Amino acid sequence: MKKKVVVALGGNALGDTPDKQKEAVKIASSSIVDLVDEGYEVMVVHGNGPQVGMIHMAFDMAHKQTDKIPTMPLVESTAMSQGYIGYHLQNAIVNEMKVRGFNKDVATILTQVVVDQNDPAFLNPNKPVGPFYTKEEADVLSKVENAIYLEDAGRGYRKAVASPKPQTIVEKNTIRKLLNSGTVVISSGGGGMPVVDMGGMFIGVDAVIDKDNSAAKIAEEINADSLIILTAVDNVAIRFGKENQEWLHKLSTEDALKYIEEGEFAAGSMLPKVEASIRFAKSKKGRIAIITSLESAKDAIQNGKGTIITE
């Protein structure tokens, strides 16, 4: 039986405009096809922070110009971002496979992710989305929009929304069938469209589910062997950016939890990746999570490059 791998791509790695994204996905597709070429069943989850913010903001600005254009709820903006990022990834992956002389189906699944309507995250919006602003710009926007803006890993200020934990993936059975048929699947883009179960009916809510948490959840539900979270660095580090910085190559879930308690990982960047890796590694014996750079996916799974997190 072929091994299943879930690959999580950051939204910032995909560029913040359609043209930049077309170029960026060529790099991502090469890493993805490396794994397909080695015989793995591959599912891709991607972020959408810059993209969903762009879509949401564009409708808001257009609505201010004319009532004929409605504002667009965040959950619908997420669906739009899944479609257009999925298209670019599908196109790039298919083209990369053609260059290498083989052919497999690639499909993007618009993905709903169930969250708990009583999740405390709804009382504490802390997930950054959209473009970066200076502190002065953010202060003005927070008053105009009655919204919360938070600093994101020293890169500027971004709008914050609720980030509830994923409970289950609505389309998981479809994803399993596609993977088992040999299809490369792109799903849970931007963490998925958050929905709550209201008397047996799924209702969309405005929130953003962290894509790494969704990647860990779908990886668990499709019984994946590995979760690879691709980011801007080759390894996780403690004391990051300091003179005594230390890169980590192997990390137990116990040690990872200890480092989290000590505040070693930034909330807006590495923390959710490590937390998602812990959850996946602990979900079943033998499962591993790897955090590494975009270019190192093949080396990560074959040669142990990156930070490997195990139970």
Task: Give the residue among 198, 201, 191 at the shortest CA–CA distance from 169.
Answer: 191
Annotated catalytic residue, options 4, 159, 172, 211: 211
Annotated catalytic residue, options 273, 282, 298, 305: 273
Query: Cβ distance 131 to 57 under 8 Å?
Result: yes
Nearest-5° angle of CA 251, CA 39, CA 303? 30
- Whether 127 is catalytic is yes
- Whether 12 is catalytic is yes
Q: Distance between CA atoms of 21 and 2, rounded to whole angstroms?
A: 31
- Whether 306 is catalytic is no
| Residue 255 burial (CB count, 10 A) | 13
Task: Give the residue among 171, 147, 18 at the shortest CA–CA distance from 80.
Answer: 18
Q: Distance between CA atoms of 289 and 229, rounded to whole angstroms?
A: 8
Name every residue whose Cβ is closer than 8 Å to that of residue 290 and which is 6 or more positions away in sequence: 226, 227, 228, 229, 277, 300, 301, 306, 307, 308, 309
Annotated catalytic residue, options 10, 48, 127, 130: 127
Query: Cβ distance 106 to 149 under 8 Å?
Result: no
Q: Distance between CA atoms of 81 and 76, rounded to whole angstroms?
A: 9
CA dihedral 231, 236, 238, 239 (to 10 degrees): -30
Task: Give the residue among 5, 27, 13, 6 at the shortest CA–CA distance from 231.
Answer: 13
Annotated catalytic residue, options 12, 91, 165, 304: 12
Annotated catalytic residue, options 10, 11, 190, 306: 11
- Whether 11 is catalytic is yes
For the annotated catalytic residues, the residue numbers are 11-12, 127, 211, 273
